[in-house]
Structures are given as C-alpha cells and as structure tokens.
Structure 1
Amino acid sequence: MEELYSKSIEEIFTTLKTSKHGLSNKVASQNLKKYGYNELVEKEKKSKARVFLEQFQDLLVILLIISALISTFIGEIESMIVIFFVIVLNAILGTYQHFKAEKSITSLKTLSSPYVTVIRENKEFNIPAREVVVGDIVIIKAGDMISADGRIFEDYDLEVNESSLTGESQGITKTSKTLTEKKLILANQSNMVFSGTSCIKGRGKYVVTKTGMNTEIGRIAKMISEAKVKKTPLQNSLDSFSRILAIGIILVCIVVFILSIYRHISILDSLMFAVSLAVAAIPEALSTIVVIVLAIGTERMASNNAIIKELKAVEGLGCVTVICTDKTGTLTQNKMAVRDAKYYGNKDFFLECLILSSNNTTPTENAILDFALLNNREKIVGEKLKELSFTSNRKMMSILYRKNNQTTMYSKGASEALLPRIKYIKTSSGFRLIENEDLDKINHDINIMTNQGLRVITFAYKEMGLQSDIKFIDETNLIFVGLVSLVDPLRPESRMAVYDCFKAGIKPVMLTGDHKNTAMYIAKETGIFREKDMIVSGEELDQMSDDKLYQDIDKISVYSRLTPAHKIRIVETWQKKGAIVAMTGDGINDAPALKQADIGIAMGKSGTEVAKEASAMILTDDNFSTIIKAVANGRNVYQNIQNAIRFLLSGNFAGILIVLFVFLFDLPLPFVAVHLLFINLLTDSLPAIAIGMEDGNDKDLLKRPPRKANENFINKKLLLKIAIEGLIITIFVILSYLTGLKTSNDVARTMTFATLCLARLFHSFNCVRARSFLVTGFKNTYLVLTFLICMILINAVLFIPELQKIFVVSKLTHDQLITVYGYSLMPTIILQMHAVLKYQN
C-alpha cells in the first residue's frame, strides 16, 4: 500500500476492508493477530554476563591472565592478585560503557499515546494505543499524540506538528483531499498522519494504514537497530597495537624460556624469568589510563557545554573530517527577527500598523512587535474591538481598533493573500490608487527577499468610520502600507566557527528540512557554501545513483528537504570515501544517522530523547561553535594519550632491555615481579594520568589537519622516540645494577628497582609536551603534584623497614642512594638538553 496519499479514501476503505463506521470487534481481533500489537520491537540484547566476559577477549588481557596463573603456580600470589585486580577493573569499565549506550528504541516507545479514541461498530471506544490495528478509525483533536500512521478522511482546521519526523518546526496543515503528485516526501504528504507526531490544532479522523514496526517511526527504530556502531581510529589502532605487542611478547617469552631450559636453568626458574619478562613488557594499566584520560576529556568538554555519553567520542572528535550539521538552532538562534522593512508614506504610521496588527502570540508576532517598539518614538493608544484570526488557509489576519472615536482595521499576512485585496497605496500626504508599477516594485522587493530565504509579511489598513465590528467581507479595498522580512538570525559565533572548521581541515555540510532558498541563504552567510559548491534537495538526491553521489559528494555542501533515509545515505557515502563523520541532529528523524555517524551529536535544548540517546555527544547550548571547541579538545586528548603511551612504553621497553641484558650475560634477575607491578601500577600510572590532563592550545590544535582514519596510533616517529628514550634509561639503570652487584644480588635488585622507578618518574616531564620544560616552565600542576606523591611512595619503600619486606628491597647506603639518584636523573638531563637545542635551532 504505497503512496496512499494519492489514492481516494474509498479505495483505501475497500483495500483495508473497513469504513467510516469502523471495524467490527471480530475483524479488529483478526487484524491484531495478523499485524501484531502497535508497538516497537527491540532486538535481543546481550546479557551483562556475556558483555563482561567479552572484555577478556583481548590478547594482552589473555596474556596477563596466563601470567597471573603462572605466578600462582610458582608462588607469586601478590603478583597474581594485582594482575587480576587490573583486568577485572578494566572489564567492569567496559561493561558499564556498553550498557550505557543502548537506549534509543526505549525512548521511541514513549512517543505513543497510552490511550486512543477509535470508532468500532459505529461506536466510540477508548483503547490502549498498542491495541490499535490496521483499518481502525481514529478520532484526533488538539493535544493528542498520533498513535499510528493513517490517511485523513475528515479534517476541521487540522494542524499537526511533525518536527520530530521531518525537522520542520512549523505546524503542518492537514487535509482530507486526495493528492495527485507522485513520490512525495514525508513533509509534503498533507493528507497523512504519522505515529509519534502530535495534533496541535483542530480535529479530524483518520483510517489506520500502518502500525508498530511498519510505521514511519518503526522504520526509524529499525534503522537505529541496524546502524553499525563504528570503532574510532584510536580503538582500531590500540586493538592492532595490542595484538602486535601480545604476539611479540609471547614469541620473546617462548624463545627466552626455551633458551633458559637449553642453558640448564630449572623449569621453575625459567618460567619465573619468562613471567618477569612478560610483566615487564605488558603495560598492565594501559587500558585503564586511556579510559581515565578520556574521562578527564569528557569533564573538560562538559564545562564547555558538550556532554559526552560515550568515551570513544572524546578522541574520535579529534580526527573528524566532515561535520554534517543542522541549520535551525545550531547555526542560527532559533528565533525570528526582522531583517529589513520597506514602507510607503509615513514611517511612524507604518510602525503603528506593525504594532496594532500584532497579537503577540507567536515568535513571528513577537519579532515584528519588538522591531516596531524599538523604532517607534510615540506611545500608541487605542482600544481593541475585534480580531479576525490568522489561519493556515487564510494566511492573513485583521484587528479593529478605536482611536479618537474613529475605527481602523489593521491587516497583515502573506503577500499572496494580502496583495489581491489591495486597492490603494499609502503616501506621505494620504493615499492613492495603486498602479501596476507599484505592484511590480512590491513584487520585485518580495522576490529578492524570498530568494534570500527570508519570510515576508505585508501590511495594510482600512478606515472603518464608526464601525465597531468587522467580518471577512470587510477585508477588501485595503490601503497598502509596507512589508517586513524576517529571518532566524545567525548565531554571532557561527561564521568564525565555520572558518575554524575549514582551517582545521574539516568540511562542514548543512543537512536541513528547510526549503532550498532558506538553506542557501544561511549556508552563504556562514561560509559553508563556497564558489562551485552544489546544493541538492531530497527529491534530487532520490534521482542520484550511488555512484553519482559518491562522485559529487565532495562538492555538495548543502542538502534540503531531507528524510531519515537520505541522511543515512549521505553519512554512509562519506564513510565509504574514508571520512570520519560527525552528525548533528535533534529530531527522531535524525536518530538513525546520529547512530550511523562516527560521532553522533544531539541538541540538548531542542533535541528529542531519542536523538540524545542515539548520539555519543550532547550540546547543552545547541551551538555549532561548541562542536569546534570539542574537536580541539578531542585532538588534545589524542595528543595526551599518545604522550602518556610514549611515557609508559619507553619505560617498559627499558624494563625489557634490562631483563634481556642480564639473561644474555647470565646475571641474576634484576627484579622480582612485585617490583615491576609497583612500577607499572603506581609510579607509571599516576604520572601517565597527569600527562593526560595537560591543557592544549585550541588555536595551535586547530591549525593541524585531521589525522587520517587509517593512521597508526603508534607511528614510526613515536616508536623511534620510545626506543631511543627506553635505551637511554636502560643504560643508566644497568650501570646502577652493576654497581649494586659489587655488593650483593639483593642490593643490585634494589638499586635497579629504585633507579628504574625514579628514572621513569623524572622521564614524565620529557613526555608532557614537545618543547623542553626548561623553556615553557611547569604548567601542568597535576604532574608536579603526582611527581611529589610518587617520590614520597618510592622513598617510603626504600626507607621504611616494613615496606622493605613487602616489596623485597634491601637497605641502601648513603653512597648507593646518591648513585641511584644520579643515574636516574641522567636520562632526563640528556633529553631536556636535546629538546632545548632543537627548540633553539
């Protein structure tokens, strides 16, 4: 039953085996069995236990579990406890994030009204909305929610708000007439009503044509459930890195274990050595640190009016290459304002007409009144006698006022409604008959304004003598006074935000339900539409093949009159071209595309709950410029995570090299497992988190182009830094180890542990930014505080006897302590001197 709007109501009644008297109870029961309940169906969700267990599928996690089990077998119970604590904590965080995101269809269910008035067997019944069936006759009035899709066959000044489905903020006038056009978009199907919308004016009846998942809102629910949740580049890169690292560690540990056996080391000692190597190599707290740094990013974004629902969105924003944005309320202020006014005759009288023809009931009325009161110098006094209200059919209104015992009717409305009623035109000395030249000039002005996407209201008046009442018949032979154009004005910051967008290498694209002219005007005003760009309507998009859209999409900067399917198609096409797409939206119709996009961004003020829950980020101020700030923050978060991982891996690499060194030269083990866990979980984790709290410079961050989606997070440049820094740390830790070995194996282990701890702690200042802190100073107070806390912890382990026993360390002499501090400080001195010389060059 497609294109029901083009079929007569008799045809529809016949097809559905119903009539204006409604279904019989028997047929209604049969239809309920045939079509099912009028409700949305959710896909079966994973259980919490399954999601929790899925968190352990990562190769690094599996390797840690194996290490923990081996630690238990060889008696290292403390190591096993700490390892299991870390991986269980990561699993809990992952499970929480998963279930936080899956709520969209639940909100769609709340959009149906709980009870509906239907006609069955020629009688009215109130029934639950879920029991409405195809063929039912539903009665609606102002204030009712529409519970199912249907075709109208009776209408009395009926108006429906379909903004949640179509994006159109204005109410849609409905009719029962058959429409002859073919392939009409949803917004133009004026004889149909749709589930999830609301009746805002008048009353009517419709026959139900679709229920449940077959309705338009049901199609949206299906699109939401089918939209693929994409991993961000960081997730993909970390997954890839984890696999490579895990495989590398496994191979090295197997080789070391086999060589240990070959060298006649006992199986237990060989296992212990391999586990030590694995623990040294695996950054146990990596996942936790990434989550914490992302969470810090969300807190900063929240202070800038961006609420992050999914942690992945924080980093994902940093590599966005396309932003598909709505117009109303995002780029504009979502309020009407007078942009221009043209009057004939006396200006004061024109302003008087504006004031006395307004009833202050709509945003348009308020905008006109505000403009008139701002420009009017004299107080206008009059008695309101009668009003002929505005309706969508009349497209005009008139108000009768008494002033100085004389009455005047002030009229205003759309030009097509008012101009045919004009006979005279106002002049500075009175009025005269309007001529064709006058009408040509007026229509010329109107055309210029409408072509700019402006809404035009015309004004006229008529002297009524002593008449104290008016009727529709009186609205003739009017005297034309002037006109005003109205626009939803741009937000002051929109132009700069769009400029920053282009500067940051991001293409902004406007997706709107508005008409072409309005969309084009705003796109040009903001700078989104540039020379040689294209604008495409929903109807034109339907005619484009997928290949043609793929070919032209780079040149299309504005889309108008779109449906939910159009928006998903646009997002998917960009993604096929390798773009990372952010999508803004506020209506139900935006939800599927919000979920399909790499980063879905919902409006906090005007957005529906469905849109908010399908998105990864919510703007509390509905402002496009907030997205650009979020992009800068996302790039900063990515940079901070990269710096934190550089810090972690360079230290871990040093640990691996030290273990391999003693193995190659058949020396005693430089660590016990608890030493490595202390380093990895405390003196590594806390500084890494502090590095993740570094503030970036928005201007500098936005000057960089977005990184490519397939760019490796751990790139060659970063690997080289990690290798060099790890090698420098290794050299001085080994020197400390060899110094301690002259005394005893226990002292050597203690000096190695202390030197590596302190060297990595000092190294945190090398990783916080590219330039030397000797040049920039200590701006990261969190890192300074963390440094002091970790210094206290390390020295407590070295000096407090009870802690010495727990962490298996020996008491060091004064000279040994000086050696430890000297060697641990040397890598940072070398790296800082290099950074200073590089900055000077």
Structure 2
Amino acid sequence: MALTFVNELFAGFVRTRGIGRHFRRLLMLEGLREAAISKEVPPSLAQGLIQAATEEPDALLARLGSHSDGLSGLQADAIRERTGANVVEQDKPLSWWAHLWHCYKTPFDVLLTLLAAISYLTEDMKATVVIGSMVVISVAIRFVQERKSHIAADKLKAMVSNTATVLRRDPAKDIEQEALVYFEVQLHPKPSRKAEVPMASLVPGDIVLLSAGDMIPADCRVLAAKDLFVAQAAMTGESLPVEKFARQREARATNALDLENIVFMGTNVVSGSATAVVVGTGPATYFGALAQRVTATDRAPTQFQAGVNKVAWLLIRFMFVMSPLVLFLNGFTKGDWTEAFLFAMSIAVGLTPEMLPMIVTSTLAKGAVALSRRKVIVKRLDAIQNFGAMDVLCTDKTGTLTQDKIFLSRHTDVWGEDSDDVLEAAYLNSYYQTGLKNLLDVAVLEHSEIHKELNPASNFRKVDEIPFDFQRRRMSVVVAEHEDHHVLICKGAVEEILAACSSVRHGDAVEALTPALLQRVRSVTAGLNEDGLRVVAVASKELPPTQEAYGIADESDLTLIGYVSFLDPPKESTRPALEALAAHGVKVKVLTGDNELVTSKICREVGLLDQAAVLGSDVERMSEEELAAAVEAHAIFAKLTPAHKERIVRALKANGHVVGFMGDGINDAAALRAADIGISVDSAVDIAKEAADIILLEKSLMVLEEGVVEGRKTFANMLKYIKMTASSNFGNVFSVLVASAFIPFLPMLPMHLLVQNLLYDFSQIAIPFDNVDDELVKDPQKWNPADIGRFMLFFGPVSSIFDIVTFVVMWFVFGANSTEHQTLFQSGWFIEGLMTQTLVVHMIRTRKIPFLQSRPGAALLAGTTAIMAVGIFLPMGPLSHYFKLQALPASYFPMLAAILLGYMVLTQAMKAFYTRRYGWQ
C-alpha cells in the first residue's frame, strides 16, 4: 500500500518513460521504500534534522536567517541562489544532445547506420547518401516531434503545479532597505502576509502554513500545531497517520523518522493545522537523499505501453523470421551472397516499424493539445489511451452530478421547525474553524446578516478547536461568550453527532435523548433527505471557563439543537452528459460518502437509476466474490469511506474493466491511485491532484465525455498506423519471396527498398491529424495484438497479388526478363509498390469506402498525394540514373491504373468480409 502511495504521489515530481518518449523515471520505488525502512540516508542529514527538532524555535530561526514573520521576497531569492530549487536533484529535463542520442539509439536506426557503413566501404556512395539521409531525416523527425511534445507537456504540467502557503514579509521600498532587513531581521521586523508560492520556490527559512489536504512541500520543523495528523506511509510504511507536535518530547531520539516535530517532504496532512519552518529542500530533504541512493528504473508498463510493446515485438519477430529467408533464398538462387545480404538487410529495415515511436508520440501530443482546448490537462501522455479505453467511470456526486455551489436551504430545530438559534450556532462553528473549509461552511458564512447580529469580534472569543477527521466526521469549536462561560459547538454528520449526544433541545426545554426521541429525530432528518437536502446536525454544550485546551474526549454529553440543511441541485448538463457517456459505452457509478437518500434522489433526477444504493456498511461485510457481483449490479454506492472507494475500484478492475475515478478530496486519493486513470480538477486538494493522471479545468461530466472521445480518436489513429505497417510489410516480404524464387535478378535493389520505405514513412506522418469515423469512437478500445496479427495475414497478401501481376506484366509485356533489363523491371515494381503502399493508408484508415464515405484529413491527403507524385517522378525524371532507375514507357501507366483499381476493389471486398467475420476494430 505504501509503495503504491509513493508510486502515484510523486508522479508530478518524477518522469515516466513511454513509447517514443524519453522521460526516465528517476526513482526505484521499491528501493526507496526499503531505503526508508533501513534509514539509509547520509548521517549529516539525519543529524541536521535531529538538531532542528531539538533546537529552540528562536535559535533555529536565527540559524536559518529567518523570522517568525517569515522571509521577504528578496531574502528568499538570495537563499534560493545558494540552495537551489526545491526539487529532487534528478528531476531535470534531458539536454538536447542527450535527447538526440536517445532518439537515435533505436535498433532500427543502428541497423540503417550499419547498412550505410557497409555501402561506404563498398564505395557505393549513392546508397550511402540515401541511407544516411534516411537516418538523419528519421531521427530529426522524431527529435522535433518529441521535443514539441515535451514542451507541450511541460507547459500543461506547469498549469497544474502545486503551491504552498507561506508567510512573506512586505517588501521594503527599495533594495537598500530590503538588504538591511536581510541582515537585521530581528531589529527591523515587518508585517507579514500570506502568499501562495510554487513548491519549487521554497527555501530553508520559509514559514509554511499547513492544513488538512496539503502536501508537505519540504522537510519542516513544526513551530505550532493543532491536532496535526500526517500520513507518512511513503517514508515509514505506517498505515495510520501519526500526530505531530511543536515540541520533541523524546530528547534522545536518534532516528529522524521518529521525530515528533519534523514533517517530511511528500507526506500529507490528514487533519489539523500547523505552522512550520522549512529546514531542508530538494536533495537536502529526507526524500531527496533517499532518491539519490536508489537505482533508477522504469515504471511498470501501463496497459497502453504493454499493448504498443507487444505490437512492436510482433513486427520485429516477423522481421527476424523473414529476413533470413530472403537472404538464403537470394544467396542460393543468385549466387551473390554480398548482394543478397544487403538486400536482406534492406528487407529488415523495410519491415521494422521505425516510425512507431514518432507516430505514437506525435499522436499522443496532438491529443493532449486537443484535450487542453477542451479544458482537460494531461499530466501523463500515456493516460490519453486509457481515457479512450475507459468503460466504467466512478465519480463523486457533489460538484460533478450537482452544481458546484451549495445553498443553505433550511435551518431547523430537532423537530424540523425553522430556528435562527441553530443558524447562529452553525455560523459560529464555521466562522472560527481553521481547517479545510468545505462548501457547506462557505454556504453558512454567506449569511452575512448573522455576522452583524452576532458581532463575533465583540461578543465571542475563540478558545479552542477540535478539527474534523474522517473517523469522527464532525468538528467542534469552543468559544467564550462575554468571558463568563464556554460553549462547545459541534457540527457534523447526523449519526456521528447523535452518537455524542445525550439530550435534545426544543425551544427552551431540554429532554433526555430516549430511544423514542431518537427514532423521531431520524424520521425528521430522513424527511429532509428525501427532499434532496443534505443535513448537518448541530449540537452544543455549555462549560465552565476553567480550561483553554479541549480534545475529542470533550465531545460527549452534547445537546442536539437542530440541523442546517443544504441544497445542491443537479447541473443542467448532467443528464445529457450521462446519456452521451452511455452512448459511448461508459457506465457511470456514483461513489460518495454522502447520505444514500440524498444521493438516490439526485441520481434519479439525472436519469441514473438503481433499485437500491449499496452502503459502506454493506461493502464492509461483503466478501471479494460478493463485492465483484455487487459492483456490476449497482450504480450507486453511498456512505463510503476512502477504503471502501478504493476497494470498489479494485473490484471493478478485477472484473476486467478499465476504470476511471474522478475525485477532488483528500478521501479520494486512495481510489485515484487505484484506478486505471485518475481524474481530478484544478480546484482539488493537493494530494488529489498529485495522484491524478488528468486534471479537468471544469468539473463537468460533459467535459469528461469530450475527453473520452478525443482519447478514442487518438487510439484509432495509432491503430491505423500499426495496421497499415503490418499489412504492408507482410505483403512486401511475401512478394519479395515469390520474386526471389522465380526471377534471376533482385526484384528491387537495396537502395530502392530504402527509398520506398522512406517515402512511405513520410506519407504517414500526418496520420495523427487524420479524421476518425464516428463508429470508431463509439465503444471503448483496447489493444489486441492477436487481432493485428490476423489483420496482417488477411490484408498483406492482397497487395502481393497485384505485385505478382506487376511482375508478370513487366516480364511478358515489357520484356524485362533478363539481367540486362532488370532496371526496367525494378522501376516498374518501384512505382507500383509505392502506389499500393500509399493507397493502403487510405484503404485501411476506414472500413467504409475511402474518399466517398469517409474523407481523410487534409494533411494526410496532401501528404500521400505528394509522395505518390515523388514516386513517379524519381524513375521518370532527371534523377533516375542516380537511383539506378529508368523511365517507363507510356503504355505502362494505363496498366498501372488498372492494377491499382483492382487492388482497391479487392481490398474493399476483403474489408467487408473481414468486418462481417471479426469486426473492424
């Protein structure tokens, strides 16, 4: 569990490596975990943390050159120049030359270079120039495309970069005053202000304000804390959060991880609040030190990466089988083993999917840019294909199905009658709490008239606070009214509040909470829930003014005073969005911690029907087999804990679904990590954004539906390239084997094969920008290498039939039947082979009739037309002798047109047969 937490939590800090990309993952997560447990960090770092934990706060601040009011902007800049940015040291982009080397060092380009070297040694300068040009152009295309993709991805990630809240002293009027403050911070303190700064900009000495949901941005010493609980499983493997304090109680602590007043970079605040000073950043943090001690490794392949790899190896294995066959067949029949070897190497190059990384990368990059225009930001490009493959979407209710705006609808006493006293108590609770204010608190605080009536500044003083956590599902504040008594006001979920109550108040009367009254209370709240209202209970207790610190134990013997009820109406776009997702084969399941009655009512209003909601308590009792059946049968799951959400997501994945999870809260982080694709929003808490693969700038299912369609378009275009390459390659090799067996000379020179392959690759560059048929984005799509292999066997021989027809025409009609006339034969097949290879792009891009029922993208049409023109020009133009080709007689072209027409007709017929039997995609 902790390992999974590290894996996803730091997705924004470390790069992953995908097909065609060279973002390398810089941390071996398992090694990181083991190193953390064995405490393999430099002794100097551990000693520095221990020193920071045991120093007096004033002494620590003085040593760091800081102040209790924080640093000024100029101070922070000066420190940053000395310490560097707050990022792990390895998190750097590849230099251009390293990236260029990565683009080159593929087996395919190395093979081409070897062929160029052999041509140079045999003094075949023309072949050397052509082959060398192919290497240069191929690498250049890949480099430029990937560079553009990296830049686009970096820009997108910068849009969702996380920030930290720090104290900044107001800047001095000029640089001299600022410099004076820097050296005399204790003599000239300036008023401080809160500021949001990028985490990477933090420096030692920064004063950081932490609250529930925040990621710890650096190693920090806690200066002040209120019920601060931190999840640090990433470092220690502890499953439960640990409480942190402002003081280190154990003076002899020797292990940095046991320090009670140190919080570590990359962990996160579960509940409570704190003020802390940064003591270490970037490589000087505990996490940064561990990162330097482990071996870099790639992330486990995603479904997308595994699929692409299987397809690539399918083609490569095919090359390893067919190239030796061509070598031996030509060597034995022609007797020239050197020429046979070069020809076999050319066949190997022609068979290799050398453009696959570039096509995949550019397609994903294009998809990411297109999604950004639809307010969808892709943090990891590989996630786009998972987006398209998603067939189950799990989402919260609030803000997704409903408006992202909560309205306070009613404030009632325990029997459902309107009560201003309840609203006043709820207002004080929301006004004085300092934790993570949710939409309910915002809705209460919008009643400004209550603020004027209560006048908290004059009539009340905050004494203490008991922050919210997910176990209690309530929070309390304690206020002093006119300093003559204390009032504890507790607000939270109805059942959890009732568990802490022993009495109820109606008007001025207070009655014991008997079973009969409890049943009546539940009947009132159920009625409010059935009206679509979210009910929050309010309770209180008067206490003598004898203590200043309160804890969870004080939340007992409370008096229930009433409820505040909130309305979160459905969005107008929700119903059409759900219908659109259903039309695209995506089932939507609602996973919420909210009340099942409210959830069911909202779901009915938006057309999401279910006979009965499954509750978290039901999930708790279910076995894995029972849960596997329940997640298929039901669409609404209510009153869930974070663990329940994660378990449901894993059950859906175990059933074979590609699961997306959309969430924005602290309690969604576990499910976001467990899902195939985590989806969050830009307004989410830090931990949710870090765990997500995709960030939505608009919390709407309609935006999500558009993203699903774009993901499927991206996948469809990638699959086009693979099918074209596989079938074309197989057809070419089959034709070569036939020609080699019966023709006394090479049917095509190695140079011809390489030039033809280069031109064919150019014709496919525009595939990422091609149009996609509507039916190809209707259903979820997954990789199926077996289907691609079958497709290759069906469509490859179709082109071979017409290659053989061309052989017959050149041999018998044009007399190219001897070694003296081999150039004419080779020129005829060069043109016909390139034409069929280029036409296959249009024939296989759609199952419909190309050009008539399905029009290609303008860029693809222009590219293929230009390549066909170049293919005819090379033998017919002044450069023919350079490429060892010759002009063909005019009578050749009517026969060529007939051959190409026959090829298109037979291919279309094969498409119809194949689709009826196996489906198109």
Task: Check if 1:486 corresponds to 2:553.
Answer: no
Q: Find the aligned partners of 1:770 and 1:531 in 2 and give their Cα distance.
A: 43
Task: For 1:629, give the aligned amino acid.
Answer: E
Choose the corresponding residue for 2:845, options 768, 772, 789: 768
Q: CA deviation at 1:44?
A: 8.2
In the alignment, what sits opposite 1:455? 535
Q: CA deviation at 1:441?
A: 6.5
In the alignment, what sits opposite 2:525? 446
Normalised by the length of structure 2, the TM-score is 0.60
Instruction: Kindly indicate whether the alpha-carbon contact (under 8 Å) linking 1:772 and 1:836 is maintained by their aligned counterparts in 2.
Output: no
- The alignment's C-alpha RMSD in Å is 6.5
Choose the corresponding residue for 1:721, options 791, 794, 798: 794
Q: Find the aligned partners of 2:916 and 2:651 in 1 and give their Cα distance.
A: 46
Q: Find the aligned partners of 2:291 and 2:660 in 1 and give their Cα distance.
A: 20
User: Cα deviation per residue 1:591-616 (whole Å; 9 max; x = unaligned)?
Assistant: 787567543434234464x7656644
User: Cα deviation per residue 1:157-208 (whole Å; 9 max; x = unaligned)?
Assistant: xx96313369xxxxxx985799xxxx99659999999678999x99988999
CA separation of 1:108 and 1:809: change in aligned 2, threshold 3 A: closer
Task: Check if 1:734 corresponds to 2:807.
Answer: yes
Q: CA deviation at 1:508?
A: 5.0
Matching of residues 534-549 of structure 1 within 5 Å = 535=616
Q: CA deviation at 1:750?
A: 1.8
CA separation of 1:384 and 1:767: change in aligned 2, threshold 3 A: same
Instruction: Kindly indicate whether the alpha-carbon contact (under 8 Å) linking 2:802 and 2:903 is maintained by their aligned counterparts in 1.
Output: yes
Q: Find the aligned partners of 2:796 and 2:762 in 1 and give their Cα distance.
A: 20
Task: Check if 1:279 corresponds to 2:366.
Answer: no
Q: Find the aligned partners of 1:210 and 1:562 in 2 and give their Cα distance.
A: 31
SS at match of 1:804: coil
CA separation of 1:740 and 1:78: change in aligned 2, threshold 3 A: farther
Q: CA deviation at 1:664?
A: 0.6
CA separation of 1:617 and 1:440: change in aligned 2, threshold 3 A: closer
Q: Find the aligned partners of 1:681 and 1:530 in 2 and give their Cα distance.
A: 60
Q: CA deviation at 1:274?
A: 1.6
Unmatched segments (≥5 aa) in structure 1: 1-14, 30-36, 117-126, 129-139, 149-158, 167-172, 374-379, 400-410, 426-431, 460-479
Q: CA deviation at 1:62?
A: 4.9
SS at match of 1:730: helix
Q: Find the aligned partners of 2:512 and 2:673 in 1 and give their Cα distance.
A: 57
Q: Find the aligned partners of 1:756 and 1:824 in 2 and give their Cα distance.
A: 10
Q: Find the aligned partners of 2:365 and 2:309 in 1 and give their Cα distance.
A: 19
In the alignment, what sits opposite 2:128? 77
Q: CA deviation at 1:763?
A: 3.2
In the alignment, what sits opposite 1:468? none
Q: Find the aligned partners of 2:241 and 2:197 in 1 and give their Cα distance.
A: 15
Instruction: Kindly indicate whether the alpha-carbon contact (under 8 Å) linking 2:727 and 2:793 is maintained by their aligned counterparts in 1.
Output: no
In the alignment, what sits opposite 1:161? 211
Q: Find the aligned partners of 2:361 and 2:348 in 1 and give their Cα distance.
A: 23
Instruction: Kindly indicate whether the alpha-carbon contact (under 8 Å) linking 2:397 and 2:599 is maintained by their aligned counterparts in 1.
Output: no
Choose the corresponding residue for 2:373, options 297, 303, 308: 303
Unmatched segments (≥5 aa) in structure 2: 1-49, 65-83, 170-180, 183-190, 200-208, 217-223, 230-237, 247-259, 432-436, 467-475, 482-488, 540-559, 632-636
Matching of residues 22-61 of structure 1 within 5 Å = 59-61=107-109
Instruction: Kindly indicate whether the alpha-carbon contact (under 8 Å) linking 2:847 and 2:912 is maintained by their aligned counterparts in 1.
Output: no
SS at match of 1:163: coil
CA separation of 1:776 and 1:264: change in aligned 2, threshold 3 A: closer
Q: Find the aligned partners of 1:530 and 1:219 in 2 and give their Cα distance.
A: 53
Q: Find the aligned partners of 1:177 and 1:61 in 2 and give their Cα distance.
A: 56
SS at match of 1:454: strand
Say which is worse superposed, 682-691 or 667-676, in terms of deviation.
682-691
Q: CA deviation at 1:766?
A: 1.8
Task: For 1:78, give the aligned amino acid.
Answer: V
Choose the corresponding residue for 2:733, options 643, 646, 656: 656
SS at match of 2:747: coil
Instruction: Kindly indicate whether the alpha-carbon contact (under 8 Å) linking 1:732 and 1:827 is maintained by their aligned counterparts in 2.
Output: no
Q: CA deviation at 1:143?
A: 4.7
Instruction: Kindly indicate whether the alpha-carbon contact (under 8 Å) linking 1:732 and 1:826 is maintained by their aligned counterparts in 2.
Output: no
Q: CA deviation at 1:823?
A: 1.8
CA separation of 1:833 and 1:352: change in aligned 2, threshold 3 A: same
Q: CA deviation at 1:435?
A: 14
User: Cα deviation per residue 1:795-839 (whole Å; 9 max; x = unaligned)?
Assistant: 44355x334344443223321222222222320133335667999
Choose the corresponding residue for 1:820, options 879, 896, 917: 896
Choose the corresponding residue for 2:700, options 605, 608, 623: 623
User: Cα deviation per residue 1:417-475 (whole Å; 9 max; x = unaligned)?
Assistant: 999997659xxxxxx9999999986774235446977134899xxxxxxxxxxxxxxxx
Task: Check if 1:245 corresponds to 2:335.
Answer: no
Q: CA deviation at 1:712?
A: 1.8
CA separation of 1:620 and 1:175: change in aligned 2, threshold 3 A: closer
Choose the corresponding residue for 2:721, options 644, 657, 660: 644
Q: CA deviation at 1:271?
A: 2.3
User: Cα deviation per residue 1:388-429 (whole Å; 9 max; x = unaligned)?
Assistant: 679778879999xxxxxxxxxxx999898999997659xxxx
Instruction: Kindly indicate whether the alpha-carbon contact (under 8 Å) linking 1:772 and 1:835 is maintained by their aligned counterparts in 2.
Output: no
Q: CA deviation at 1:298?
A: 2.7
Choose the corresponding residue for 2:679, options 583, 587, 601: 601
Instruction: Kindly indicate whether the alpha-carbon contact (under 8 Å) linking 1:602 and 1:619 is maintained by their aligned counterparts in 2.
Output: yes
In the alignment, what sits opposite 1:754? 831
CA separation of 1:17 and 1:593: change in aligned 2, threshold 3 A: same
CA separation of 1:424 and 1:109: change in aligned 2, threshold 3 A: closer
Q: CA deviation at 1:663?
A: 1.1
In the alignment, what sits opposite 1:695? 772
CA separation of 1:598 and 1:424: change in aligned 2, threshold 3 A: closer
Q: CA deviation at 1:492?
A: 3.6
In the alignment, what sits opposite 1:562? 642
Matching of residues 176-195 of structure 1 within 5 Å = 186=241
Q: CA deviation at 1:695?
A: 2.6
Task: Check if 1:334 corresponds to 2:404.
Answer: yes
CA separation of 1:767 and 1:621: change in aligned 2, threshold 3 A: same
Choose the corresponding residue for 1:582, options 641, 660, 665: 660
SS at match of 1:249: helix
Instruction: Kindly indicate whether the alpha-carbon contact (under 8 Å) linking 1:294 and 1:311 is maintained by their aligned counterparts in 2.
Output: yes
User: Cα deviation per residue 1:144-164 (whole Å; 9 max; x = unaligned)?
Assistant: 99999xxxxxxxxxx963133
CA separation of 1:559 and 1:435: change in aligned 2, threshold 3 A: closer
Q: Find the aligned partners of 1:810 and 1:775 in 2 and give their Cα distance.
A: 35
Q: Find the aligned partners of 1:811 and 1:351 in 2 and give their Cα distance.
A: 96
CA separation of 1:65 and 1:20: change in aligned 2, threshold 3 A: closer
CA separation of 1:790 and 1:605: change in aligned 2, threshold 3 A: farther
Matching of residues 136-215 of structure 1 within 5 Å = 143=194, 161-164=211-214, 186=241
Q: Find the aligned partners of 1:234 and 1:353 in 2 and give their Cα distance.
A: 54
User: Cα deviation per residue 1:313-354 (whole Å; 9 max; x = unaligned)?
Assistant: 222322235545455544443321246687999x9x999999
CA separation of 1:79 and 1:304: change in aligned 2, threshold 3 A: same
User: Cα deviation per residue 1:219-277 (whole Å; 9 max; x = unaligned)?
Assistant: 9999x999973434343233233334323323432343334443462333222322332
> Whose Rg is larger?
1
Normalised by the length of structure 1, the TM-score is 0.65
CA separation of 1:738 and 1:306: change in aligned 2, threshold 3 A: farther
SS at match of 1:715: helix
Q: CA deviation at 1:781?
A: 4.2
Instruction: Kindly indicate whether the alpha-carbon contact (under 8 Å) linking 1:42 and 1:105 is maintained by their aligned counterparts in 2.
Output: no
Instruction: Kindly indicate whether the alpha-carbon contact (under 8 Å) linking 1:412 and 1:418 is maintained by their aligned counterparts in 2.
Output: no
Instruction: Kindly indicate whether the alpha-carbon contact (under 8 Å) linking 1:322 and 1:508 is maintained by their aligned counterparts in 2.
Output: yes
Q: CA deviation at 1:780?
A: 4.3
Task: For 1:812, give the aligned amino acid.
Answer: L
Q: Find the aligned partners of 2:295 and 2:167 in 1 and give their Cα distance.
A: 24
Percent identity over paired residues: 19
Task: For 1:761, give the aligned amino acid.
Answer: T
In the alignment, what sits opposite 2:822? 745
Instruction: Kindly indicate whether the alpha-carbon contact (under 8 Å) linking 1:458 and 1:484 is maintained by their aligned counterparts in 2.
Output: yes
